[in-house]
Amino acid sequence: MIIVMRRQASPADVAGVVARLAEIGCEAHVSAGQFRTVIGAIGDREVISTLPWEAMSGVEKAVPVLKSFRFVSRDFQEEDTVIDVGDVSVGGGSFTVVAGPCAVESREQLLRTAEAVSAAGARILRGDAFKPRTSPYSFQGLGEEGLKYLVEAREKFGLPFVAEVLDSRDVGLVSSYADIIRIGTRNMSNYSLLAEVGRQPKPVMLKRGFTATLEEWLNAAEYIYKEGNHQIMLVERGIRTFETASRNTLDITAVPLVKTMSHLPILIDPSHSGGKRELVAPLARAAVGVGADGMMVDVHPAPDTAKVDGAQALLPSEFADLMESVRALAGVLGLKT
Amino acid sequence: MIIVMRRQASPADVAGVVARLAEIGCEAHVSAGQFRTVIGAIGDREVISTLPWEAMSGVEKAVPVLKSFRFVSRDFQEEDTVIDVGDVSVGGGSFTVVAGPCAVESREQLLRTAEAVSAAGARILRGDAFKPRTSPYSFQGLGEEGLKYLVEAREKFGLPFVAEVLDSRDVGLVSSYADIIRIGTRNMSNYSLLAEVGRQPKPVMLKRGFTATLEEWLNAAEYIYKEGNHQIMLVERGIRTFETASRNTLDITAVPLVKTMSHLPILIDPSHSGGKRELVAPLARAAVGVGADGMMVDVHPAPDTAKVDGAQALLPSEFADLMESVRALAGVLGLKT
Amino acid sequence: MIIVMRRQASPADVAGVVARLAEIGCEAHVSAGQFRTVIGAIGDREVISTLPWEAMSGVEKAVPVLKSFRFVSRDFQEEDTVIDVGDVSVGGGSFTVVAGPCAVESREQLLRTAEAVSAAGARILRGDAFKPRTSPYSFQGLGEEGLKYLVEAREKFGLPFVAEVLDSRDVGLVSSYADIIRIGTRNMSNYSLLAEVGRQPKPVMLKRGFTATLEEWLNAAEYIYKEGNHQIMLVERGIRTFETASRNTLDITAVPLVKTMSHLPILIDPSHSGGKRELVAPLARAAVGVGADGMMVDVHPAPDTAKVDGAQALLPSEFADLMESVRALAGVLGLKT
Amino acid sequence: MIIVMRRQASPADVAGVVARLAEIGCEAHVSAGQFRTVIGAIGDREVISTLPWEAMSGVEKAVPVLKSFRFVSRDFQEEDTVIDVGDVSVGGGSFTVVAGPCAVESREQLLRTAEAVSAAGARILRGDAFKPRTSPYSFQGLGEEGLKYLVEAREKFGLPFVAEVLDSRDVGLVSSYADIIRIGTRNMSNYSLLAEVGRQPKPVMLKRGFTATLEEWLNAAEYIYKEGNHQIMLVERGIRTFETASRNTLDITAVPLVKTMSHLPILIDPSHSGGKRELVAPLARAAVGVGADGMMVDVHPAPDTAKVDGAQALLPSEFADLMESVRALAGVLGLKT
């Protein structure tokens, strides 16, 4: 932690901060410049970060040197985390494709989609039984019935599946059916839900809050990790910016940045970020180029009847076409798909 | 709903949209311009909004004419909602001051603060027993013990209190102690929590998500309202922008905007928005000027030892000084405090 | 400057940075923590800031301790700058009201507006002869003819006036007529224009770029100041955020923040920030409450025929009503208007 | 234009809008819903867009159906614009690589870099003689001397070059030397500069303002186009968002979006968007994947001595490595480099 004193700070103010550091067993390195005195605090990060330095007399600001997450950082673990889901690996040199409908709407809709994405080369199925919707008047999902259809699809087509959970009280239920549990963008800062999925055994897919910084996102992963579940994959799905031409702004730079900050695998969702069908293929190809560990794509047999997010769903044939170019690009970069 | 067709849309595409509207019992008004055809859809808003118009052939975009919330809108209720909490009213021509510590840290800390804010003219006490923290390593609150201290403060100083709830499973507990239940900024899109507080009888204070649009915020209020709880007060607490000199950017324009869109009262939190003690008084006076229904202020007897957000807490004496100018300004505008 | 080394930085990397600091005559304070080494650089700010520290081997990031502007900072000048324009003062305990049409559209439109705002208590007239417009097909202003009408209005009603300049080649022309020259939001980073207005003698009104940080804004002021013109007043007019319900988000927190960072006076523009007539009065009253040095308001005798920004212009009668409450609030706070 | 009336609008208000449309020779299609009346205005876009609809009695908002730019839109020209610069083409199925130092610092620095980027396969050289800097104390460029070195490099290595212009008064000078004139991000809304480069004959490279929407960016292109210069290439270089881990957020979605909205070619700048050397290669490969028409990359022989943006410059050897993977990816997608 670096503590920058105010211009008007007195020697007593400086001494006060130094004394406080000594109390908690930390060293203080004081550097007096012409306009400001700066105090470097050396010691246990967690202890230092709990004190309200900026509330102390004469302090202008406190700048952390280290990020606030620990276990999910590259500082803690140098090598990439690789997550095994059945015979599929996420991370470690593959480009893993997750595909399926945004929401499970019916048995037939799900099975048709699952068959198509499996044939085209997807390795994991997506499909949600619980949907968080901005408006309380929108379709909220089929619940447990949807999870049962997903199990049927897994049995028929051999694809493990990922499904979202919205409420701490449903974690056990979703975990008992799904291969991967997803935390959606709106719940990334729902800390009691994060802790709850951290206590069940299935891998967790953690979407970035559409207004979360990378540091906040990795702190959310830390909430899961510290409860004992270390199989966490991240999904970048666009952030909120001033630009309104696309639903969100895909923050593709997050991929190389996260890879320097953390050992966790990171995928891209080209469907929810852009929000429009014609943007999916270009963004998916960009995901391969930038070095993501995979992607998650919405596919629907009849998008113009979809109950959720139809505007961004690919038809099965469009998805199959996309998979061809994705495989070709991934091949050039030496990645398995 | 206004449906704008693509430049390349065929007559069959237009006919398709018109037919779909007819199926759901709505009228279509077709206007053909030089470059685009526009279709006005007239009929039941909820029915129209459930269909995936943008996924239909030839459609460029669908622009809603009405907001997606209903009951919390001025369209639904013309007159202001006024919420009574004991003998305190929120809304309807008062400037109600809520004050207290960000978190309840100890019995003594709470009682000292409650005594001071009561003496200075606050009408409602704040103090949280459950705290959502970005880092899992930060102080998470005293839990039920904290709620008991709040009850003791209420009895001693006659101030009703507001406390945050983080988890659907704790709603009953917090509701059994508190006079007002608060949904914090990180949980504004936690729809199952919203529904849960909508089913208990205490008034709800709903903070704006720091990245929520006004429409999303009012939709969150709609989630509560439609479960049967109509006593909802809103709190603007700053939004996330590119500016990093303050913790968040207080969106003061939200006050007059919300008042045209909704009948619910709206308060301002000058403490969490700026994140710095020296910003609190100017922002609080701006809150009076802009026409807010009140404010909520952090006060702490020893901010430099605070476990949460010490940098923004006022000392009791600073709060008392602020209350003087707030009362004077409110008086000029004819508002009770 | 604080230089944070990467986790993998070698002792040679650290030595390299220290040697580079020595070369430019600066001291290096090295603090080695468990995960990172931090180097405090003490010496001449301008010399230190010219070197590409982040490009050096082993450096993770360089964090400046001081802001990059010098002369406009409170570090350089403790007391408030007060600008005299004729017998009007801006800064130093007044709330100065600037009002008039967004653009000069005709002699009659200007004179009618000037008469009305003068009668209602405005102290400075606004009106532009050159308008920057997003679309090349919009009205671009009357040019020199407009400036002549402004001079006529000044003579008739005794109000000094402010007018915008868009092009370095027009600075002499505008300066020869106007009492205050304005740099608009779109030109805040037009550094050659800033330098040019810094070389003419009239006071300068510098609007914040709608996407500029406070530090960038004060650096823009520094461009003017260092050319010799020290009479600079700042105008906050809203920033671009994700919220689209208002044209921009008035960053009211900028007022107390700028007052800690700089000695320059700061006004608020409640018209351009909100972009809607019904928002002007609430935001104007918030400007008084927050402690701004004044405000600039659009007034138009017939907004529904305005060539620019009619939706936000007040009618003269609305402006007169607003001035009453502004005077009352300013009086409570001990400010002249 | 779609004009949405307020809930409280009277029949006279609706009639007023309709009459106003009739006056300007436009048709009005009135649709009365339960809560709002909507008026579709059909007629000449430029005429309609000049009137202040939102200032008229009873109007809630006016929603344009068409974008405000005309000539640069796909509506106006269906086929892609291809720009020839010597024997290099930009647009129309190539991935054109522009590379060189951010700023020309010396003859030797430029020639060494030009030689290296030419050898590695760049087709156009970059290097600026005039630099816009946030701080007035930073290096501002070599001026005409720098342009002369660029001409020498062109002659030696056969690469046409692009250079930035900052001031309307320098357009003639830069145009007399450079093959392509660049408008930088800070000047994207400097309309008199845009018009001035529109009147000279060299192709123009228009960077996106880091806070400009796509519509504003294309309007800036329209300013150039309507002066007679139709050879405009766009460069996406990152936008300002809340995320601070990278300098800006590369808006990669802008590429497919611009391609639907406009016929102009669009390149990506992976150097200025991320601001860090290790981000350049991933973002460059994403640029190929997403379908950009090329990219512009900073290369410097000794980044740790660079006067501008050293932290993001690639070494010549790093650039050569990057070009290999870029060529391989472009090959898969059938693009020339």
Average pLDDT rounded to a whole number, residues D71-94: 95
Chains contacting A (3+ CB pairs below 8 angstroms): B, C, D
Tell me how far apart the alpha carbons of residues D184 and D196 are, in angstroms, rounded to a whole number: 14
- What confidence tier does C138 reach under pLDDT thresholds 50, 70, 90? confident
**Res A132: pLDDT:** 82
**Res C1: pLDDT:** 87
Q: Which residues 6+ apart lie within 8 Å of C316 measured at CB?
A: C112, C113, C116, C117, C120, C299, C301
Tell me how far apart the alpha carbons of residues B5 and B57 are, in angstroms, rounded to a whole number: 9
Average pLDDT rounded to a whole number, residues C122-147: 90
pLDDT greater than 80 at residue C134? no
**Res A157: pLDDT:** 97
* Inter-chain residue contact A291 with D285, CB threshold 8 Å: yes
Q: Which residues of chain A are within 8 Å of residue D285 when distances are taken between CB atoms?
A: 289-291, 333
Average pLDDT rounded to a whole number, residues B220-240: 96
Q: How far is D155 from chain C (nearest CA, A)?
A: 31
- C→A interface, C-beta within 8 Å: 2, 4, 7, 29, 31-33, 35-36, 38, 40, 42, 63, 65-66, 74-75, 211, 240-242, 244
**Res A308: pLDDT:** 85
**Res D239: pLDDT:** 95
User: For residue B186, what is the DSSP state?
Assistant: G
Chains contacting B (3+ CB pairs below 8 angstroms): A, C, D
Q: What is the pLDDT of residues B94-143, one digit of tens each?
A: 999 999 999 999 999 999 999 999 999 999 999 999 988 877 888 889 99
**Res A54: pLDDT:** 92
Cα separation values, D170 from A273, B54, B319, C317, D209, Å: 41, 47, 57, 47, 20
C195, containing H or E segment: helix C191-198
CA angle C218, D189, C185 (to 5 degrees): 35
**Res C10: pLDDT:** 95
Q: Could you tell me which of C98, C88, C93 has the C-alpha nearest to residue C293?
A: C93
* Amino acid, res. C301: P
Tell me how far apart the alpha carbons of residues B152 and A73 are, in angstroms, rounded to a whole number: 43
* Inter-chain residue contact B42 with D31, CB threshold 8 Å: yes
Tell me how far apart the alpha carbons of residues C197 and C165 are, in angstroms, rounded to a whole number: 9
> For residue D33, what is the nearest residue in chain B, using CA coordinates?
B42
**Res A43: pLDDT:** 87
Bridge partners of D29? D40
**Res D39: pLDDT:** 93
A8 CB-contact burial (10 Å; exposed 0-12 / middle 13-18 / buried 19+): exposed
Average pLDDT rounded to a whole number, residues C20-37: 90
**Res A120: pLDDT:** 98
More confident residue, D310 or B183: B183
Tell me how far apart the alpha carbons of residues B209 and B187 are, in angstroms, rounded to a whole number: 7
Tell me how far apart the alpha carbons of residues B174 and B160 are, in angstroms, rounded to a whole number: 14
- What confidence tier does A197 reach under pLDDT thresholds 50, 70, 90? very high
Average pLDDT rounded to a whole number, residues A187-197: 93
Q: Could you tell me which of C215, C177, C220 has the C-alpha nearest to residue C198?
A: C220
**Res B217: pLDDT:** 97
**Res A131: pLDDT:** 85
Q: What is the pLDDT of residues C81-133, one digit of tens each?
A: 999 999 999 999 999 999 999 999 999 999 999 999 999 999 999 999 998 88
Question: In a 3-state reduction of DSSP, which class is residue D82?
Answer: coil
Q: Which residues 6+ apart lie within 8 Å of D126 measured at CB?
A: D98, D99, D100, D101, D102, D161, D162, D163, D296, D298
Q: Could you tell me which of A202, A257, A190 has the C-alpha nearest to residue A230?
A: A202
* Amino acid, res. A173: L
Q: Could you tell me which of C113, C197, C192 has the C-alpha nearest to residue C159?
A: C113
DSSP letters, C35-100, are S-EEEEEES-HHHHHHS-GGGSTTEEEEE-SS-S--TTBTTT--SPP-EEETTEEESSSB-EEEEE
Query: Among partner residues C242, C274, C332, which is closest to B329 by beta-carbon distance?
Result: C332
Q: Could you tell me which of A69, A224, A189 has the C-alpha nearest to residue B184?
A: A189
- What confidence tier does A68 reach under pLDDT thresholds 50, 70, 90? confident
Fold of C83-332: TIM Barrel (3.20.20)
Query: C2-63: which CATH architecture?
Result: 2-Layer Sandwich (3.30)
* Inter-chain residue contact A136 with B187, CB threshold 8 Å: no
- What confidence tier does C37 reach under pLDDT thresholds 50, 70, 90? very high
pLDDT greater than 80 at residue A134? no
Give me chain C's average pLDDT, please: 94
Q: What is the pLDDT of residues C277-330, one digit of tens each?
A: 999 999 999 999 999 999 999 999 999 988 888 899 999 999 999 999 999 999
- What confidence tier does C140 reach under pLDDT thresholds 50, 70, 90? confident
* Amino acid, res. C232: I
Query: Among partner residues B46, B56, B136, which is closest to A223 by beta-carbon distance?
Result: B136
Average pLDDT rounded to a whole number, residues A43-60: 88
User: For residue D199, what is the DSSP state?
Assistant: T
pLDDT greater than 80 at residue A78? yes
Q: Could you tell me which of B61, A296, A251, A268 has the C-alpha nearest to residue D253?
A: A251
Q: What is the largest CA-CA distance in chain D?
A: 74
- A→D interface, C-beta within 8 Å: 211, 213-215, 239, 241-246, 249-257, 260-261, 273-274, 278-279, 282-283, 285-291, 325, 328-329, 331-333
Domain residue ranges in chain C? 2-63, 83-332
Identify the sign of the CA torsion D108, D109, D114, D115.
positive
Tokens of D221: 């292109």
Tokens of B223: 């989630």
Query: Among partner residues D215, D250, D331, which is closest to A252 by beta-carbon distance?
Result: D250
Average pLDDT rounded to a whole number, residues C49-74: 90
**Res A136: pLDDT:** 80
Chains contacting C (3+ CB pairs below 8 angstroms): A, B, D
**Res B60: pLDDT:** 92
CB B7, CB B35: distance < 8 Å: yes
**Res B195: pLDDT:** 94
CB B51, CB B23: distance < 8 Å: no
pLDDT greater than 80 at residue B231? yes
Q: Could you tell me which of A328, A316, A330, A321 has the C-alpha nearest to residue A110?
A: A316
B141 CB-contact burial (10 Å; exposed 0-12 / middle 13-18 / buried 19+): buried
Percent of chain C with pLDDT over 90: 82
Residue ranges in chain D assigned as alpha helix (H): 11-23, 45-50, 107-120, 144-157, 171-177, 191-198, 214-225, 254-261, 270-274, 277-290, 316-332
* Inter-chain residue contact A249 with D256, CB threshold 8 Å: no
pTM passes above 0.90? yes
- What confidence tier does A244 reach under pLDDT thresholds 50, 70, 90? confident
Tell me how far apart the alpha carbons of residues B43 and B24 are, in angstroms, rounded to a whole number: 9
**Res A108: pLDDT:** 96
* Inter-chain residue contact D279 with A328, CB threshold 8 Å: no
**Res D329: pLDDT:** 97
- What confidence tier does A66 reach under pLDDT thresholds 50, 70, 90? confident
**Res C67: pLDDT:** 85
CB C134, CB C150: distance < 8 Å: no
Give me chain D's average pLDDT, please: 94
Q: How far is A268 from chain D (nearest CA, A)?
A: 12
Q: How far is C328 from chain B (nearest CA, A)?
A: 7
**Res B149: pLDDT:** 97
Place of tokens 């067993």: A25
Query: Among partner residues C239, C289, C332, which is closest to B243 by beta-carbon distance?
Result: C239
pLDDT greater than 80 at residue D335? yes
Average pLDDT rounded to a whole number, residues B55-65: 91
CB A211, CB A63: distance < 8 Å: no
Tell me how far apart the alpha carbons of residues C18 and C29 are, in angstroms, rounded to a whole number: 9
Tell me how far apart the alpha carbons of residues A197 and B256 are, in angstroms, rounded to a whole number: 41
| Cα dihedral C36→C40→C46→C50 (10° resolution) | -30
Instruction: Write b or e for each residue in A18-54: b if 16 or more Cβ atoms lie within 10 A of its Cβ, otherwise e.
Output: bebbeeeebebbbbebeebbbbbbbbebeebbebbbb
**Res C173: pLDDT:** 96
* Inter-chain residue contact D33 with B65, CB threshold 8 Å: yes
Give me chain A's average pLDDT, please: 94
pLDDT greater than 80 at residue C261? yes
